[in-house]
Structure 1
């Protein structure tokens, strides 16, 4: 195994290549003199491959690509992708505002195949601050085609962008079931890989009322024989509720709301995130309509489909019954009653959790300032709040919901966040950002825009990578 070390320090090193860091890479490409590289342990880009169900679309318009909302002229836009695929006119005549998920995945993979500086099959193992050289040292392992270690190396960077994404979440009570091999129990993230095995089960239960749970339930319903559907759909939420998709409601996904949210007390922010579940955890109207249409169609000739949809239910405990069945112990919140459900397969559409930063940044633990709940404090410009002895910046992408609000993981804010990061990093106005993006004034006191907030460029000036 050989050891390699990069040459001069990078201005920016990105950890993880998902949509967030891919956007940052695409928008950094036109900046003269900026030296950047991006590291990803996976061998290639894939965006939620287990959920690319036929016909499913993004919940955001196609303009929410990697670059357009910050720079419509950037060569890595979705429209430019369509032009290169000779599909611009078909897309134009299709009159689609929301592109297919599989199309978005293909678009991102197209970007990764052409954008320089992306290093797949590179696993970053450790990050340390080198005070003598004022750089971060990154130790990485280059992986082979089967995930084996082929070589180790080290890179140096003045600034970092951490975009390691989220991981599927399985509730504690159900984790033992997920380890079984004889009964299909899986997270929704792995749905397509196991769909045939699920359909072979006599009875299937889907737990979770968000968009993924709804799409999986609909897909299973369409593939089960009429009158013998044998499906249950359970949810903790009090209703299978529609996503808040009014135009003014969508203004919660603007830079204006992110700035307003950041300025609120920590306890208020936490309470808001819990109460705003219909902004990001509910189901779009079209999917709910499609489910009802399919159920209604199956009732045209008398009788009801063998499908049970029950909201307001939580799974208290669960266990195996022999080798082919599972017993779920259920609590109904409003009735205050308990029941049991026997099923032959289980899909857990139970969401995702942020991957913790601590395992990646243990050497920075003493320098990282935290809030009352132990979470990293994050500046408005997405920098971790670090001790002043560390002059380099660590930007976090899609790990800031507790500080920036429900829009943190939303694709519609990806390009704006990247532009803020690059403006801060360089100390220059590389991208002109809107002073105002919403008609709603969220507070009595206007939140400062990016060009009026000295803090946004404070760490960039004096440490600009553009020499």
Structure 2
């Protein structure tokens, strides 16, 4: 590879532009690293199907793209407010948890100032060259053109994707769909005779509450089932929140692999429960609607798993199993909303380097403590992962509050020196001996 070609080699290419790679791009501004980030979407849009009015982030506003490692950055949420003449309004708002719609608008504001972000461009393949660099093939939808780039490092930040169990895939459509599509489908389902929500997390609760608010205008039967033991709140105590810290991530990473699996299986309520406020809003609305012993057209039931969905006479027949009673029953519903969560996945573009990547026995990437994918050949150029390391780094992997820390860790390695200071001790408690 001649000198001119070497000068055209980028320092880093980002695959996907979600909140984490957006933060990486923003924090790279204080370095000399040459970067490009690609996303197949036309613009930044964070879970557009769940941007319900009245919903908030479940983390404080400081979990923006930059603040937790660079509070003086021009890309901070507070500077966003300043630039939009909203500082006093936010000051009187007196809340740490900001509207979800405003977080999305903030991210779009950050994205609009970063020319290295290329939307409408899908990374199709990544290969390693003989010199050890990465050849990245990208298809740009607007130009209808396929382009090739070379880079020293790649940061994969494709995040997670909606998960629907295989047994329900064949009935997905306009009236059976994942919660991530709720806002795009809502207007078309409100005239149904019955709507059933499946799931136990925040998304299921927010959708149920939204439908409960609209029920008097449309008079549908509203059901909510979860296989969980109850409609439980997410852990939100001060010391419990310390699990979403670099300290706990460091502790968890050093646990044996089998112990990690065991620990993760018991931590669901650290990040999968319902906020206290949403539970209270639902209960208070149910209470008010039953004044005078009025009977509601509402059914809530825990410990009940959706076993099957069958299309039947223009309806959907649901088979449900109550675990403690060990009994099944059937229910007909016009609409079924599956709030069945999101799962990490291996993007197809990694197929070209599959042979140089280390995989564990479960088919997952082996990710080192510094967020590098472990490769089976030595080299100076690396693949990093954002929000794909739950199995190695623990519950903090998808947490917005740890995004800036992870990006600082990655950037310090890209730059070969400390650009952003990170701290060893961040919490009051000690994890482990």
Report the TM range for the smaller structure's normalisation.
Answer: over 0.9
Q: Does 1:399 align with 2:388?
A: yes
How high is the TM-score relative to the length of structure 2?
0.97
2:327 corresponding residue in structure 1: 337
**Displacement, 1:90?**
0.4
Write the mapping of 1:48-59 to structure 2, written as runs, cut at 5 A. Answer: 48-59=47-58
**Structure 2 Cα separation of the partners of residues 201 and 236 of structure 1:** 24
Of 366-375 and 92-101, more deviation after overlay is shown by 366-375
> 2:190·2:218 contact (CA, 8 Å) conserved in 1?
no
Q: Does 1:159 align with 2:157?
A: no
2:169 corresponding residue in structure 1: 175
**Structure 2 Cα separation of the partners of residues 119 and 196 of structure 1:** 32
**Structure 2 Cα separation of the partners of residues 225 and 135 of structure 1:** 61
How high is the TM-score relative to the length of structure 1?
0.90
Write the mapping of 1:13-412 to structure 2, written as runs, cut at 5 A. Answer: 13-31=13-31, 33-132=32-131, 134-144=132-142, 150-179=144-173, 184-225=175-216, 228-323=219-314, 325-357=315-347, 359-412=348-401
**Displacement, 1:388?**
2.9
**Structure 2 Cα separation of the partners of residues 318 and 121 of structure 1:** 36
Alpha-carbon RMSD across the aligned residues, in angstroms, is: 1.5
User: CA deviation digits over 1:295-322, x for unaligned, max 9?
Assistant: 0010112223111110111111110112
- Helix, strand or coil at the partner of 1:330: strand
**Displacement, 1:120?**
0.9
User: CA deviation digits over 1:125-149, x for unaligned, max 9?
Assistant: 11001122x31001111112xxxx6
**Structure 2 Cα separation of the partners of residues 266 and 275 of structure 1:** 15
User: CA deviation digits over 1:224-274, x for unaligned, max 9?
Assistant: 118945110000111100000000000110001111111111111111111
> 2:192·2:220 contact (CA, 8 Å) conserved in 1?
no
> 2:198·2:224 contact (CA, 8 Å) conserved in 1?
yes
1:456 corresponding residue in structure 2: none
> 2:40·2:121 contact (CA, 8 Å) conserved in 1?
yes
User: CA deviation digits over 1:189-236, x for unaligned, max 9?
Assistant: 010011112211100000001000000000000001189451100001
> 2:271·2:395 contact (CA, 8 Å) conserved in 1?
yes
1:413 corresponding residue in structure 2: 402
5+ residue gaps, structure 2, are none
**Structure 1 Cα separation of the partners of residues 170 and 374 of structure 2:** 38
Aligned length: 429
5+ residue gaps, structure 1, are 445-467
**Displacement, 1:343?**
0.5
**Structure 2 Cα separation of the partners of residues 306 and 73 of structure 1:** 52
Q: Does 1:434 align with 2:428?
A: no
